Amino acid sequence: METGNPRGVHPVHSWQETLPSTTHPPAPGRYRDSGVPLLTEVAVDHLENNTIIQIGIVVRDVEDAATRYAQIFGVPKPQIVAIAADSFANTHYRGQPSNAWGKAAFFDMGAVQLELIEPVGAPSTWEEFLRLHGEGIHHIAVRVEQLEEAQAFLAARGMPVVQSGGWDGGRYAYIDSVKQLGAMLELLKFDRETSRQ
C-alpha cells in the first residue's frame, strides 16, 4: 500500500476553497436565526439544497485524465492533490475505520466543479467503484448545512452512507443512491465560510 505524500502531489487542506460560488438564496432550514424552520422542525420530502456544486469522476490515472480534460475543454490543467487519510479525519468506509486516500484534480467548470479521483491504497468507495464499474461518474455533490439530518432523510429512503469523513474545514458523506439516481450523492458540510462556496 502506498503511503505518505507522493512526489508532485500536494495536500488537499484547501480544496474546498475552489468550489464554485452559488448565487441562489438560502434553502429552507439553512440558518437558525433566519426565521425559517429547521429541517428537524418540519416534515421534509426533499433535501434542503438542490444546487449541484460538483460532479466526481473516478479514473485510473488522474494525471492522464486531467491532461485529457484540460485539452478537450481548453482550460489549464489543475494541480494534482492528495485526498489522504491524514487530511480526511475519521474516515469510515462501509461502517469501518479506513485509511482510504486518493489523488484528485479539481476543474472549475462554471457553476459546477469537476473532480477527477484516482483511488490509492486502502479500500474506499472510489476503489470499489473503479473495480466494479471502471472509470466513470461516481457522484454528484450538494452542499448541506445539516449533514446528519440529510443523511437520516436519505437513509429512510433506502440510501445509506457508504463513506464519510472530514477535512480541515468540513465533513462529507457519500450516499449509496445508485439504485435510485444512477450515481452516488455526496453531501458536503462546511464548518466555516470559504471564499468560494
Q: What is the reported pLDDT for 49?
A: 79
Q: What is the reported pLDDT for 91?
A: 85
Over residues 177-185, mean pLDDT: 93
Burial class from Cβ neighbours inside 10 Å (0-12, 13-18, 19+) for residue 132 reads exposed
Which three cell numbers, joined as nine digits, stand for 121?
A: 491504497
Phi-psi region of 92 (alpha: psi -120 to 50; beta: other; left: phi over 0): beta
Q: What is the reported pLDDT for 98?
A: 86
In the chain, the N- to C-terminal Cα span, in Å, equals: 34
pLDDT tens track for 92-122: 899 998 888 899 999 999 999 999 999 998 8
Over residues 85-89, mean pLDDT: 60
Q: 164 near 175, Cβ under 8 Å?
A: no
Domain boundaries, the chain: 44-190
Least confident of 60-74, 87-101, 147-161, 171-185: 87-101
Least confident of 31-40, 56-65, 182-191: 31-40
- What's the CATH code, domain 44-190? 3.10.180.10
CB-based contacts of 34, cutoff 8 Å, min separation 6:
26
Most confident range, picked from 60-64, 88-92, 187-191: 60-64
* DSSP-based helix, strand, coil % in the chain, nearest 5: 20, 30, 50
Q: What pairs with residue 11 in β-bridges?
A: 82
Instruction: Give 17's pLDDT tier (boundaries 50, 70, 90).
Output: very low
